[in-house]
Amino acid sequence: MKIITTSIPEVIVFEPPVFADDRGHFQQTYQEKQYREAGVPKSFVQDNQSYSIAKVLRGLHFQLAHPQGKLVRVTKGEVFDVAVDLRKNSPTFGQWHGEILSAENRRQMYVPENFAHGFCVLGDCAEFLYKCTDFYHPGDEVGLIWNDAEVGVKWPINDPLLSAKDQKLPTLAQVMDVLPNY
Cis peptide before 60 (omega within 30 of 0): yes
From 30, 61, 66, 182, active-site residue: 61
Contact 117, 82 (CB under 8 A): yes
Cα-to-chain-centroid distance, residue 57: 12
Q: How many CB atoms lie within 10 A of CB 6?
A: 16
Catalytic residue among 35, 97, 117, 130: 130
130 catalytic, yes or no?
Answer: yes
φ, ψ dihedrals at 33, nearest 5°: -60, -45
80 in Cβ contact with 122 (< 8 Å): yes
Query: What DSSP letter does each residue of 95-140 carry, written as one string?
Result: -EEEEEEETTT--EEEE-TTEEEEEEEEEEEEEEEEEESS---GGG
* Residues identified as active-site: 61, 130
